[in-house]
């Protein structure tokens, strides 16, 4: 983490977690999901030096805006990823004291319901990573969404609905929130406490190497171009390939239930054949779709 601070001394610490490894946690670790430009996040971390705060945000532009504000802060770590898919992969069970979500997109269309925090996968991940006695707090300007979260998460076997307050007193408010309240509109805060043990299956693994017992040429790899595959919620597609005459890189796109990644499969000579693995420069997580893509490429090249 210090290396990242040295590389970009004007920024707070942006981290890229390793595939299949949980992030380190301290006794008082909290998480904010979807922090936007980080106005709340940075002030909250400053107000609470006793807390280690992680922030997960899907937008790279927001991550950079927050990282600029976070310069000099030692208790905030910023991660650019999709919390819906990655929450359970980043944190072990019973590791977070609090999870905060403020003004999340309400995803009002039925076709977007799977993106809400009330979707089973998201809610289960949240229930797993909270400590027993830990809290999930969501603030919204959308009353139907606040009601839905109250009813659905309140019915989760490991969570207890604790508080529903309209226009609560808030330690820190953001520009958008102040404007909204000045216009005479309401905000809604719903809080939950984790009451019992709960766990979920993790889908991301550490490493995958596949050995092929034959010689491979650039034209073998070019045959994979534009080939697509699909299995359950996993989708993959191969793109262009590059070579320095010895090692090949195969551009690959994957989607796991809309968690999208673009990376290279690294194909290099090994003993009397070739070895396929993820190229380390593109920092992909080894999800089910990535495993399928590696196996498919290896199968077709064998």
Ligand X SMILES: C[S@@+](CC[C@H](N)C(=O)[O-])C[C@H]1O[C@@H](n2cnc3c(N)ncnc32)[C@H](O)[C@@H]1O
> CA-based angle 137:257:192, to the nearest 5?
15
Establish if 88 lies at the interface with ligand X (CB under 6 A): no
Give the C-alpha separation, 240 to 221, whole Å.
9
**Residue from 174, 191, 261, 287 that binds ligand X (CB under 6 A)?**
174
**Residue from 44, 103, 235, 285 that binds ligand X (CB under 6 A)?**
103
Establish if 59 lies at the interface with ligand X (CB under 6 A): yes
Minimum CB distance to ligand X smaller for 28 or for 114: 114
Q: What is the dihedral of CA 81, 89, 87, 71, to 10 degrees?
A: -50
Stretch 5-44: interaction string toward ligand X, x if CB under 6 A: ----------------------------xxxx--------
Minimum CB distance to ligand X smaller for 33 or for 276: 33
**Residue from 176, 180, 193, 243 that binds ligand X (CB under 6 A)?**
176
Q: How far is the CB of 34 from ligand X (least distance, A)?
A: 3
Establish if 102 lies at the interface with ligand X (CB under 6 A): yes
Burial 212-245 (b: 16+ CB within 10 A, else e): beeebeeebbeebeeeebeeeebbbbbeebeeee
Minimum CB distance to ligand X smaller for 29 or for 174: 174
- The answer to whether residues 167 and 181 touch, using CB atoms and an 8 Å cutoff, is yes
φ and ψ of 93, to 5 deg: -55, 145
Q: How far is the CB of 122 from ligand X (least distance, A)?
A: 8
Establish if 255 lies at the interface with ligand X (CB under 6 A): no
Establish if 83 lies at the interface with ligand X (CB under 6 A): yes
Q: Cα(first)–Cα(last) distance of the chain, in Å?
A: 40
Establish if 104 lies at the interface with ligand X (CB under 6 A): yes
Where are the alpha helices (H) located in the chain, listed in sequence order?
2-7, 39-47, 60-69, 83-90, 120-129, 143-154, 175-182, 218-222, 288-301
φ and ψ of 146, to 5 deg: -60, -40
HSE-up (13 A, CA, CB side) for residue 85: 20
In the region spanning residues 187 to 246, those forming contacts with ligand X, defined by CB under 6 A, are none
Establish if 172 lies at the interface with ligand X (CB under 6 A): no
Minimum CB distance to ligand X smaller for 13 or for 83: 83
**Residue from 23, 31, 56, 265 that binds ligand X (CB under 6 A)?**
56
List of residues contacting ligand X (CB under 6 A):
33-36, 56-59, 62, 82-84, 102-105, 174, 176
């Amino acid at each position: 983490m210090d290396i990242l601070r040295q590389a970009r001394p004007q920024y707070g610490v942006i981290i890229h977690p390793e595939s299949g490894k949980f992030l380190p946690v301290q006794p008082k670790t909290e998480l904010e999901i979807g922090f936007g430009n980080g106005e709340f996040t940075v002030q909250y971390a400053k107000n609470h030096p006793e807390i280690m705060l992680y922030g997960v945000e899907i937008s790279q532009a927001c991550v950079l805006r927050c990282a600029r504000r976070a310069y000099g802060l030692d208790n905030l770590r910023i991660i650019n990823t999709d919390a819906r898919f990655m929450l359970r992969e980043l944190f072990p069970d019973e590791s977070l004291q609090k999870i905060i979500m403020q003004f999340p997109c309400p995803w009002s269309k039925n076709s977007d319901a799977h993106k809400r925090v009330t979707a089973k996968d998201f809610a289960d991940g949240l229930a797993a990573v909270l400590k027993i006695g830990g809290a999930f707090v969501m603030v919204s300007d959308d009353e139907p969404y606040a009601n839905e979260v109250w009813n659905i998460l309140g019915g989760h076997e490991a969570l207890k609905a604790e508080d529903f307050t309209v226009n609560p007193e808030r330690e820190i408010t953001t520009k958008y929130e102040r404007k909204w309240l000045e216009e005479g509109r309401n905000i809604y805060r719903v809080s939950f406490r984790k009451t019992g043990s709960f766990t979920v299956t993790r889908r991301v693994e550490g490493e995958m190497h596949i050995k092929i017992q034959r010689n491979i040429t650039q034209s073998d790899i070019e045959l994979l171009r534009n080939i697509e595959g699909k299995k359950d919620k996993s989708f993959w597609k191969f793109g262009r390939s590059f070579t320095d005459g010895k090692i090949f890189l195969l551009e690959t796109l994957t989607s796991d239930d809309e968690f999208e990644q673009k990376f290279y499969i690294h194909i290099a000579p090994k003993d009397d054949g070739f070895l396929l693995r993820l190229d380390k420069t593109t920092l992909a997580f080894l999800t089910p779709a990535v495993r399928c893509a590696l196996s498919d490429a290896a199968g077709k090249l064998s």
